[in-house]
Amino acid sequence: MQADRISEQRLLEKIRQLPPEQVLLVEDFINSLDQQNTEYSLTFAAAKLSEPVLLKIWDNPDDAEYDTL
């Protein structure tokens, strides 16, 4: 975890050297990354929640012949 702290310190130093308008850009970029992570998490959660219902549809004797494809 020491490497993480060093990376964090380097990043903080770089941010401190930026002019205020570029710091805002960095903040916007970080927010967009966070939003992407949130959207991915929601999509993954929705897929997991729908899995039991979809298994009932997909896992049935009528469609068993497709399981071997």
pLDDT digits (tens, 9 = 90+) for 4-27: 888 999 999 999 999 999 999 999
Placement of tokens 């929601």 in the chain: 42
Ramachandran region, residue 26 (left: φ > 0; alpha: ψ -120 to 50; beta: rest): alpha
**Band of pLDDT at residue 37, cut at 50, 70 and 90:** very high
pTM: predicted TM-score of the whole model, two decimal places: 0.57
Query: Could you report the per-residue pLDDT of 39-69, keeping only the tens digit for each?
Result: 999 999 999 999 988 887 777 777 777 777 7
pLDDT of res. 57: 79
- Indicate the domain borders of the chain: 20-63
Q: Is 11 left (phi over 0), alpha (psi -120 to 50) or beta?
A: alpha
